[in-house]
Structure 1
């Protein structure tokens, strides 16, 4: 099956997920670590989409945030975050989304992100462009860092949160001194989708879980953003971090990342 064959299947899966997210109560919220949690909606969405995708595409593996992997041992793998932004959802904040990506080897090649409470859907397939609904997306064309809005990933929680937050806090300070605004939306899917749409000029996350990033990475890349790791190398699922930048400020963002590392 080609990517154009698989895209409608991904949309159907996300349709099913969206119905659950908008119709269900949050349900039981269970701690899965320090200041991290999973809701009943997360589990219901992942179970439903796992069953659907393994039935519709049995030759493709499946990786979900909550219950791990299943299915074929193949080069292709679906990667699902059933609710990206669970903390936002639990607190009644509309900044959350369903993120379904397809990984080929170590590269994201297809993605669908739906923001159910903002009524927006983003999608892309490698070589076919990125879209919000029927509107083709274009990443920001800014060339002036002082005019840039840059989003950053959440601060770390859990094991060694203090140590893992040192680079995040250093980055925040360096950005605050140089860019127009710094934003933290609490959802990697939103960060990357809005980078694709040019609503933010760059986004930086010192993390790279496949379920968080795979859909957004291909959407941002297909919209013309530079999607990379902190060294400026092309992003893969093995990258230690996820950075998307408007091409015109790519080198400025990399310079800030170098300065961040020097301060540690």
Structure 2
């Protein structure tokens, strides 16, 4: 019986296929997904190629893609974001990623993220540590918020965007007053990969989809981070938000989040 570690080469090859397509292809026709949200023709093409590749290599594992949904079993499945940061990709900004995870029930157990235009490949398997381009990585040792560089997720678009952004704006205001610097990269996978590598000290994302977060969560956990929801409970695929930081910094991140929530009257 294969272990998760045995599946890492397959996952890595799947992500490399997708990354090559990003480097060599063009966006093609754009499809409107909602208010100020689009998918490119290349998003769909990459997802279909990876789905077919993994179905051939691992026929007993299900698949969930951002663009075309579920196929196969749901208790063990690959989860793909074919282009995480499509808006950046369309503008030729290099902060975009391919993100693939293996999720067992509600927990990611394997993750591969490639940043195709930044020559970086991040991998992790539960219990085996996290690596960037084959080298072991760990989170930073920053323990106080005034010394921390913190990434935040994109502002909301679409229905109820104003209400959702009230919390995002409150978090940003708290960070502006208390952290060293705030960064918005436009790719959740990149945020978590850079946190795992120690380039960032914390990451806060307040609107989650499984394909956005699963791969980065296992990578950053294996690099030594704490990853929780807004209540401080361990993050899993049902969590609606992601707060990630080194264990030493996490109490300050949770305190900041709670202060922002009190400002806007959020639960």
TM-score by length of 2: 0.97
* Structure 1 match to 2:71: 70
- Distance in 1 (CA, whole Å) between partners of 2:202 and 2:5 is 28
How far apart are 1:208 and its partner, in Å? Answer: 2.1
How far apart are 1:25 and its partner, in Å? Answer: 1.1
User: Aligned to 2:239, what secondary structure does the other structure show?
Assistant: coil
Q: Does 1:113 align with 2:105?
A: no
- Distance in 2 (CA, whole Å) between partners of 1:140 and 1:89 is 28
* Structure 2 match to 1:156: 156
Which runs of structure 2 are paired with 1:12-31 in the superposition (5 Å)?
12-31=13-32
User: Aligned to 1:83, what secondary structure does the other structure show?
Assistant: strand
- Distance in 1 (CA, whole Å) between partners of 2:8 and 2:26 is 29
Which runs of structure 2 are paired with 1:53-132 in the superposition (5 Å)?
53-71=54-72, 73-132=73-132
CA contact (8 A) 2:144 2:252 kept: no
In structure 2, runs of 5+ residues without a counterpart are none
- Distance in 1 (CA, whole Å) between partners of 2:113 and 2:86 is 15
How far apart are 1:244 and its partner, in Å? Answer: 0.6
- Distance in 2 (CA, whole Å) between partners of 1:35 and 1:187 is 16
- Distance in 2 (CA, whole Å) between partners of 1:120 and 1:252 is 30
How far apart are 1:74 and its partner, in Å? Answer: 4.4
* Structure 2 match to 1:205: 205
State the Cα RMSD in Å.
0.8
User: Aligned to 1:263, what secondary structure does the other structure show?
Assistant: helix
CA contact (8 A) 2:229 2:239 kept: yes
Q: Which deviates further from its counterpart, 53-62 or 168-177?
A: 53-62
* Structure 1 match to 2:239: 239
* Structure 2 match to 1:182: 182
- Distance in 1 (CA, whole Å) between partners of 2:154 and 2:163 is 14
Give the ranges of 4+ consecutive aligned residues of structure 1 lying more than 2 Å apart after TM superposition: none
* Structure 2 match to 1:222: 222
Query: Residue deviations 1:173-220, cap 9 Å, x none?
Result: 011000000000000000100010011100000122111101000000
Q: Between Structure 1 and Structure 2, how many residues are aligned?
A: 263
CA contact (8 A) 2:203 2:243 kept: yes
User: Aligned to 2:121, what secondary structure does the other structure show?
Assistant: strand
Query: Residue deviations 1:244-264, cap 9 Å, x none?
Result: 112211100000111111111
TM-score by length of 1: 0.98
- Distance in 2 (CA, whole Å) between partners of 1:174 and 1:222 is 28
* Structure 1 match to 2:50: 49
CA contact (8 A) 1:141 1:247 kept: no
Query: Residue deviations 1:86-113, cap 9 Å, x none?
Result: 0000011010000000101101110000
How far apart are 1:33 and its partner, in Å? Answer: 0.5
CA contact (8 A) 1:59 1:74 kept: no
- Distance in 2 (CA, whole Å) between partners of 1:15 and 1:203 is 25
CA contact (8 A) 2:15 2:98 kept: yes
In structure 1, runs of 5+ residues without a counterpart are none
